[in-house]
Amino acid sequence: MRTGFIGTGSMGSILVEAFVRSKALNPDQIILANRTISKASSLANSYPGLKVSPSNKELVKQSDVIFICVKPLEYKQVVDEIQQGLHPSQTVVSITSAVLLKHLENLLTCKIIKMIPSITNYTLSGSVLCMYGQRVLPEDKEQFENLISQIGSPVCVEEEYTRVSSDLASCGPAFLAFFLQKWIDAAVEMTGIPPEHATILANEMTLGTGMLLTSGGFTPFELQKRVSVPGGITAKALHMMESELGNIFHQLVRITHDKYEEDLAKVEYLFKEKQ
């Protein structure tokens, strides 16, 4: 399966590297295109056999599946460039939440898939959110999920839940890392523990907790109950966090959805502008 990637920024390059390292794709199956060709060439130089296309149009001619890995407001321009070169048997994969399946299905004649990757896919872990357009057949879904299961766990979601699902699966690593860094900083400031020591402990704790919540079979609630003892240190700290954090997570969901609605309105305008 010849696979093209339009855009080799942060997430585009993560996907390419993950697919190659997992052996889901061989380098000679991958074609790259990027507005700044030198960036695509730099990535290609890391994996002998990987090809760089001089344009998005040329990439489409050589690809069975095309991942569009650009910023939301750049999608319409890419679609305008490639739409005449696509045919019904090809598949276009969007990786951004604000570009809806209908935006692409209205302009492109091929099969459309929307997926939301995560930085965790770089370590061949975490989830990959999947949504499918109306032209995608069951065998297409199976083939696609066989591919992405090499870099993460495919999770099918309704498009209306894209944003909140992305908060948990894709934004979540940054939110969790922020919490850990604040905790590490406080530990260093208040106790004098060496920063590298605190960081190792926090990182290993996070890894172990993730295993407990997946292969260990615990739910987050069960894990809290298992660790804390009534009247103990953990229970007292949990009570403090319950009191102090208040509705912070409701605010988190609200702000990500507000930003999503802003982005969606801008994307809607671009896709309607020239129709």
Bridge-based pairing state of the strands 51-52 and 30-33: parallel
Nearest 5 degrees, angle CA 40-CA 96-CA 154? 95
Query: Does 152 belong to an annotated binding site?
Result: no
| Cβ atoms 127, 98 nearer than 8 A | no
Query: Does 89 belong to an annotated binding site?
Result: no
Query: Does 6 belong to an annotated binding site?
Result: yes
Query: Does 10 belong to an annotated binding site?
Result: yes
Measured distance CA(25)–CA(215) in Å, rounded: 27
3-state secondary structure at position 211: helix
Query: Does 119 belong to an annotated binding site?
Result: no
CB neighbourhood size of 225 (10 A): 13
3-state secondary structure at position 158: coil
Which has the closest alpha carbon to 171: 60, 50, 11, 53?
11
Query: Does 9 belong to an annotated binding site?
Result: yes
Query: Does 232 belong to an annotated binding site?
Result: no
Q: What residue numbers does the annotated binding site for NADPH cover?
A: 56
Q: What residue numbers does the annotated binding site for NADP(+) cover?
A: 6-11
Q: What residue numbers does the annotated binding site cover?
A: 6-11, 56
